[in-house]
């Protein structure tokens, strides 16, 4: 296929927030389309009326945009194959059902949920693969009419042919499924809504999707879908089934592992660029040891056929490392906007009241130490005296007499100065070192603990310049109290 014909799609169901695994699937499809100059289509599969909501659709679109994944056709964009929402395409599915009816490739199934569940349990008890055994396949017209007269509304099942279903998966190689183990599957439910496999085939065909990239949990669905393509005499797309994202215990990533949705990672203070980068690498490689890469590089280097066959373990510590790297080089003004957007709870309302120049100066001070945007909360004590909180490590340091001596010396040296430039701050530390006989951490740590409540943080020179002489005197003075003259 020529590059101009390539069309990929992401087709989520709006039944919850966008899962990190589904986001990676969307990203793979987006990367493949962008790499080949093709089109990326977004389609909303919302035929599950009980669980699908418009609110989840809105969140889903927001999360994709935040992550940096845009679409060429779909909701809010339109396109030549509208509508891109399955609940608005029901007439189309019934037209294709009529085509299958005329070819005698489907039949009405009157089995109740209870009857189907009993059949499933019986097969499992016999150690057989659960599937529909064709109870209604042989019903004649009179039998069907009788069941309808009883008030039973039928679903429609596709007649699965016997034999091998063979297809090429461009990640996993040749895949084989046996028609007998699949069983006749539902294409139209009794409530008039299409089943997943039926709607997907029709939509992918009509929207001219050329490449389907999705998780390995859809492999068996592909076998069923190929049977429908065959019945409708339509050319199927190319298939790529990537591995799933796993938790630290190598089980499928779920809520018990912690955050699993894009929205949760956004709220935790991760940058969209970092999460995009991490997902683009998860389960594959860009080669040459490259890890921190802009979207343009990832598009160029991405190779869908080299995506790993085994599960990719989600490592939040690696994501945090990558996020910290992005934060260090992030524009201060943009980061200030992100901070105001993220820190909206009552405890952080004072952030909103800061002038932009003050907030940006504060961010410039601490961003080399941040791992996430929300990490700014750990440093609010630098900004506000009332937010100053002493960690256990800092508190232990400030209880030692030798460290109090350092503070007494530093306070007196500071008190003798009218103001301090960057050079003068370093001179004060040199003098304090000469008087106390201490160097390095032994000298700096008590001062850092006293003015920030922490044992880690910004460089001392930058910290001094940001806080200024009076603020530092005030903080140290509260700790040493009358010991200064004792």
What is the residue extent of each domain of the chain? 3-86+246-313, 89-242, 331-376, 392-485
Q: Which tokens belong to 65?
A: 């945009």
Q: Do domains 89-242 and 392-485 have the same CATH topology?
A: no
Res 351 pLDDT > 90: no
How far is it, in rounded angstroms, from Cα 448 to Cα 140? 87
Helix (H) or strand (E) holding 472: helix 460-480
Enter the pTM of the model.
0.90
Residues 6+ apart with CB under 8 A from 399: none
How far is it, in rounded angstroms, from Cα 319 to Cα 238? 32
Q: Which CATH architecture has domain 392-485?
A: Orthogonal Bundle (1.10)
Using a 10 angstrom Cβ sphere, with 0-12 exposed, 13-18 middle and 19 or more buried, the burial of residue 392 is exposed
Q: Which tokens belong to 484?
A: 């200064």
Question: How would residue 242 be classed by pLDDT, with cut points 50, 70 and 90?
Answer: very high
- pLDDT tens profile 270-297: 999 999 999 999 988 887 778 999 999 9
Which CATH number does the domain 89-242 belong to among 2.40.160.10, 3.40.50.620, 3.40.50.720, 3.40.50.300?
Answer: 3.40.50.620
Class assignment of domain 3-86+246-313?
alpha beta
Widest distance between CA atoms in the chain: 107
How far is it, in rounded angstroms, from Cα 390 to Cα 413? 24
Res 483 pLDDT > 80: no
How far is it, in rounded angstroms, from Cα 59 to Cα 125? 42
What's the chain's average pLDDT?
92
- pLDDT tens profile 114-160: 999 999 999 899 988 888 988 999 999 999 999 999 999 999 999 99
Long-range contacts of 433-441 (CB under 8 A, 24+ apart): 435/409, 436/405, 436/406, 436/409, 438/406
Helix (H) or strand (E) holding 187: strand 186-188
375: number of Cβ within 10 Å: 18
How far is it, in rounded angstroms, from Cα 110 to Cα 65? 44
Looking at residue 349, its pLDDT comes to 60
How far is it, in rounded angstroms, from Cα 382 to Cα 370? 14
Question: In Å, how far from its chain's centre is CA 477?
Answer: 47
Point out the least confidently predicted range of 92-101, 108-117, 205-214: 108-117
How far is it, in rounded angstroms, from Cα 314 to Cα 260? 10
Given 49, 255, 334, 439, the catalytic residue? 255
Point out the least confidently predicted range of 153-162, 359-368, 391-400, 409-418: 409-418
Looking at residue 417, its pLDDT comes to 81
154: number of Cβ within 10 Å: 18
Q: Is 441 a catalytic residue?
A: no
């Amino acid at each position: 296929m020529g590059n101009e014909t390539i069309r990929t799609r992401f087709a989520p169901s709006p039944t919850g927030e966008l899962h990190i695994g589904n986001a990676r699937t969307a990203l793979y499809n987006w990367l493949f389309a962008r790499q080949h100059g093709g089109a990326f289509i977004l389609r909303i599969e919302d035929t599950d009326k009980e669980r699908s909501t418009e609110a989840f659709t809105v969140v889903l679109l927001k999360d994709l945009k935040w992550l940096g994944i845009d679409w060429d056709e779909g909701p809010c964009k339109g396109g030549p194959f509208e509508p891109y929402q399955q609940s608005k395409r029901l007439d189309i599915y019934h037209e294709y059902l009529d085509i299958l009816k005329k070819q005698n490739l489907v039949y009405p199934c009157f089995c109740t949920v209870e009857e189907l569940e009993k059949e499933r349990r019986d097969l499992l008890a016999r150690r057989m693969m659960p599937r529909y055994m064709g109870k209604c396949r042989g019903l004649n017209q009179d039998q069907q009419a009788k069941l309808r007269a009883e008030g039973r509304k039928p679903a429609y099942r596709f007649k699965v042919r016997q034999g091998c279903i063979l297809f090429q998966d461009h990640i996993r190689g040749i895949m084989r499924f046996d028609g007998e183990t699949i069983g006749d599957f539902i294409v139209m439910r009794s409530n008039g809504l299409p089943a997943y496999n039926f709607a997907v085939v029709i939509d992918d065909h009509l929207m001219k999707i050329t490449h389907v990239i999705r998780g390995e949990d859809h492999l068996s669905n592909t076998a069923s879908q190929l049977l429908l393509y065959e019945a409708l005499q339509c050319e199927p797309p190319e298939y790529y089934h990537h591995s799933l994202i796993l938790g630290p215990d190598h089980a499928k990533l779920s809520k018990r592992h912690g955050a699993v949705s894009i929205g949760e990672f956004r709220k935790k203070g991760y940058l969209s660029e970092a999460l995009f980068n991490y997902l683009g690498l998860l389960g594959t490689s860009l080669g040459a040891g490259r890890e921190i890469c802009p979207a343009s590089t990832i598009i160029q280097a991405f190779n869908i056929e080299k995506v790993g066959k085994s599960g990719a373990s989600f490592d939040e510590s690696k994501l945090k490392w990558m996020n910290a790297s992005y934060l260090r080089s992030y524009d201060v003004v943009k980061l200030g906007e992100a901070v105001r957007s993220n820190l909206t709870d009552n405890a952080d309302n004072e952030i909103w009241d800061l002038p932009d120049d003050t907030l940006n100066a504060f961010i410039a001070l601490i961003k080399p130490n941040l791992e996430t945007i929300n990490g700014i909360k750990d440093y609010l004590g630098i900004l506000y005296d009332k937010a100053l909180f002493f960690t256990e490590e800092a508190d232990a340091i400030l209880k030692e007499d030798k460290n109090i001596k350092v503070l007494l010396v530093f306070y007196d040296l500071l008190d003798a100065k009218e103001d301090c430039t960057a050079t003068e701050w370093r001179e004060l530390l040199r003098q304090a070192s000469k008087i106390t006989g201490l160097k390095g951490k032994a000298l700096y740590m008590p001062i850092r603990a006293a003015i920030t409540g922490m044992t880690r943080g910004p460089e001392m020179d930058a910290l001094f310049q940001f806080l200024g002489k009076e603020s530092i005197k005030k903080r140290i003075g509260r700790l040493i109290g009358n010991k200064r003259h004792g």
